Amino acid sequence: WEAVLAAYLARSGLRVTRQRRAIAAAFFSHRGHPNIDELYSSIRAEHPHIGQATVYRTLKLLVDSGLAEPSRFGDGTTRYEAAHADDHHDHLICVECGHIVEFRDDEIERRQIAIAERNRFAVTDHKMVIYGSCQDGKCPRRPSDNKSLPPRALHEGRKST
């Protein structure tokens, strides 16, 4: 990622700064799909001089350079993950605790291609996100007051089918 970012910044007339390098390193070492606040919190302890606006601008540079991908999973925030051209995957999102599971299923991928071909449609890209609830009643990520509640059928206007 360092060479790609350096080349992108040079083409854009920007410098590789210590702050950008620290933010990018934190992003690429972060597990999961952080939003800006989560990434900023993880950086603050080691780099208290880096402001949230710098984190935001650097994430935008990572997206613009093709190194990161933004996603909106229905929690009202944009989340980011490292972009890997050859690593397509889809997501399961728990509407109760926010847990995100990445998965790949070759049968689903084949069916999507067949559906597109049957409809004379040329797919350029796609994202599949499945919303539901963790089935572990003792899910450690779920807020304690929600552990006994049944899964919600509706989440931000999406109806279960």
Predicted confidence (pLDDT) per residue in 105-134, tens digit: 889 889 998 999 999 999 887 888 888 888
Residues comprising the chain, all counted: 161
pTM for this model (two decimals): 0.64
- Looking at residue 144, the DSSP 8-state letter turns out to be G
Predicted confidence (pLDDT) per residue in 135-157, tens digit: 877 776 766 654 444 444 333 33
User: How many other C-beta atoms are found inside a 10 Å radius of the C-beta of residue 78?
Assistant: 14
Q: In terms of pLDDT, which residue wins out, 97 or 142? A: 97
Identify the top-confidence range among 20-24, 67-71, 108-112: 20-24
Predicted confidence (pLDDT) per residue in 28-43, tens digit: 998 888 999 999 999 9
Give the orientation angle of helix 18-29 with respect to helix 36-44, to 10 degrees.
Answer: 110
Q: For the chain, how are helix, strand and coil distributed in percent, rounded to 5?
A: 35, 15, 45
